[in-house]
Amino acid sequence: MSVYRRLHAAHGPQFWWPGDTRFEIMVGAVLTQNTAWSNVEKAIANLRAAKALTPHAIVAAPHRQLVSWLKPSGYFNIKAKRLRAFCAWLLQQGGVRRLAHWPTDRLREALLAVHGVGPETADDILLYAFERPVFVIDAYTRRIFMRLGLIEGREKYEVLRKLFEDRLGDDVTLFNEYHALIVAHGKDVCRPRPHCTRCRLRPLCASPVANN
């Protein structure tokens, strides 16, 4: 919580995840793999402009057409297949409203069985689209907390997720804001080559880089 308070003081509220609907948040979670969010926004804007920001439209679209809409997000052939598979699964389950009634563990297990959905993507969807108390672990989390000396950085995903959830309790609002702040700090300050002189976490940091 000390790290959270310092990040919040440094970056302010993040109002994350951007998206007008649960489905749009899910699309963003699938497309944001290995790319900047600004590129995802362009791809989503393409879908919206084509009136294709629905699971039915995405499943029905020819592959070439879907690829052209998703091109700004990078790895567009792979992402077109993954997004189509996700939308087909969503429709098979009866849509977002029906899934919203599923218990978290059952929903997470089902998401992880969908082609192209790994733990981070599944937890993004659970936290931001379904508002479940699931903490998202990403590369920024590993980098920041390894430099702080609080983790080794090589732990398995589930080990780190449980660590954060056990320490923070079941608080969806806190998980949402905390993960968004970690992303902001990892992108702007605690980068691979960190800007330690303007880092609000520096007094807590165990990294030799921060203390030189």
- 210 domain-assigned: no
> What amino acid occupies position 182?
I
**Domain range for residue 40?**
22-129
> What amino acid occupies position 92?
Q
- 6 domain-assigned: yes
Q: Is the pLDDT of residue 7 over 80?
A: yes
- 158 domain-assigned: yes
- 169 domain-assigned: yes
| 74, 160: one domain | no
- 43 domain-assigned: yes
Domain holding 192: CATH number?
1.10.1670.10
Q: What is the pLDDT of residue 114?
A: 98
Q: Is the whole model's pTM more than 0.75, yes or no? A: yes
The domain total for the chain is 2
Q: What is the pLDDT of residues 198-212, one digit of tens each?
A: 999 999 998 877 655
Q: Tell me which of 129, 155, 175 is where a domain ends.
A: 129
Domain holding 78: CATH number?
1.10.340.30
Q: What is the pLDDT of residues 29-69, one digit of tens each?
A: 999 998 989 999 999 999 999 999 999 999 999 999 999 99
